[in-house]
Amino acid sequence: MPGTYLNYPFDEEIFYQMWQEEPDPVLTAMLNSGAVVDDPTIANMLSNSGNQYTIPFYNVLDGDPVNYDGATDITATETSGGYQSGIAYGRAKGFTARDFVAELSGSDPMGHIAASVSKYWAKYRQKVMIGILDAIFGITGSGNAKTWHDTHILDLSSATADARVIGATDLNDLATQAMGDHKTSFSMAIMHSNVAKTLENLELLEFWKYTDANGIQRPLNLASTNGYTVIIDDSVPTKAVGGSGANKDLVQYTTYLLGAGCLRRAPGRLDKPVETERSAAKNGGQDTLYTRIRETLHPNGFSFKVPSSGWTESPTDAQLFATSNWEIKFNPKSIPMAKLITNG
């Protein structure tokens, strides 16, 4: 119902529409690269059946053919398949009037608020993506799990004077190691700013620019290298590995290489994504904007396993980011995700 927020006219439905339409450069880059795809099948499941969903799949047909000579019996191989399971997470956040006062100057105050909320949730979505990626790359074991660990991770870092920064061919080497003749499936890399700086100094990376409504160009933490879309984010995993002397400041940086359809995204049912509240007594009077999201960001080829303790109807960040809650389901060569570790 139309009302007011910070003494401005405020309509929750219109605001939510503006919030959803506010450009999210990171998500747009992910979608445009093909690394993230909106999955209508999962969306349909989430709209009707809670937070958990199961997606069946068929294994690739294999086996050798027999000689068709009119005398040899034809052998048949039974088809097989499996399933992967995913989980939706729900999150909520409130903002008081004082959070937005400085930003509300202009002819479109609701637009200012929508932009602020959109950027907040964009940063959170990026945190979820990196946390889940970090979790699945921790999977080890036998069979597909061992192949995944051995072929989709390339560690070039060191704690000695032989430390390696990223080079011109490293992303291509990793893509070939992980996917072989399917390496063209990769389309995006997520890396730390120090790794991006190394590529930039080698003149192998070009930053994108965004033109705002006033025609002013602004640099983004998005770039291109070797045909890959690059997201630059300092929240990717890093680890100090230096010893003493010249090596005391050495750091390991993780770069993720992602391919088409490796992450499946879908919204969940959400009846009240936004609402406002006026408290006349609190702090002498304040307005609060409450926002909620419910969605899934699923690594294709893996299953989420519900933990045996501490479980509620929505996974916590700690549960989403725990390696023990994930297991591999696909043949690793069918999973266009890989991890490069360098010293810069």
Percentage above 70 pLDDT, the chain: 83
d(CA 115, CA 117): 6
Token pair 């997470």 is at which residue? 89
Q: Which of 190, 170, 168 is nearest to 259 (CA)?
A: 190
* DSSP result, 144-199: HHHHHHHHSEEE---SSTT-----TTHHHHHHHHHHGGGGGGEEEEEE-HHHHHHH
Cα–Cα distance for residue pair 312/318, rounded to 1 Å: 13
Tokens of 256: 């993720």
Q: Give the Cα separation of 56 and 65 in Å (integer).
A: 27
The torsion angles phi and psi of 127, rounded to 5 degrees, stand at: -60, -40
The proportion of the chain whose per-residue pLDDT surpasses 90, expressed as a percent, equals 42
Q: Which two tokens stand for residue 316?
A: 């916590």
The residues, ordered by sequence, that sit 6+ positions from 333 with a Cβ below 8 Å of its Cβ are: 151, 178, 179, 180, 182
Report whether pLDDT(219) > 80.
no
Per-residue pLDDT tens digits for 16-58: 787 777 777 766 677 667 788 899 999 998 987 678 898 876 6
Q: Which residues contact 330 (CB under 8 A, 6 or more apart)?
A: 57, 84, 144, 300, 301, 302
Determine the pLDDT at residue 205. 92
Give 71-88 pLDDT, tens digit per residue: 888 887 766 667 799 999
The pLDDT of residue 262 is above 70: yes
**pLDDT score recorded for residue 220:** 73
Exposed/middle/buried for residue 7 (C-beta within 10 Å: 0-12, 13-18, 19+) = exposed
The residue ranking higher by pLDDT, 56 or 124, is 124
Contact predicate 28/136, CB 8 Å: no
Tell me how crowded residue 66 is: count the other CB atoms within 10 A of its CB: 10
Residue 334 — pLDDT band, cuts 50, 70, 90? very high
Checking if the pLDDT of 170 tops 70, the result is: yes
The answer to whether 141 and 326 have CB atoms below 8 angstroms apart is no
pLDDT exceeds 60 at position 98: no
3-class DSSP state of 113:
helix
Kindly report which listed range (24-28, 88-92, 334-338) carries the lowest average pLDDT score: 24-28
Which domains occur in the chain, in start order? 3-61+82-342 (3.90.1690)
User: In this model, does residue 340 exceed pLDDT 90?
Assistant: yes
The whole-number pLDDT of residue 20 equals 76
Give residue 1's pLDDT.
Answer: 47
pLDDT digits (tens, 9 = 90+) for 243-257: 666 677 789 999 999
Residue 190 near residue 182, CB atoms below 8 Å: no
> What is the spatial distance between Cα 139 and Cα 208, in angstroms, rounded to a whole number?
34
The residue ranking higher by pLDDT, 316 or 105, is 316
Mean pLDDT for all residues in the chain: 84
Range 163-177 average pLDDT: 92
| Higher-scoring residue by pLDDT: 173, 107 | 173
The type of residue at 183 is K
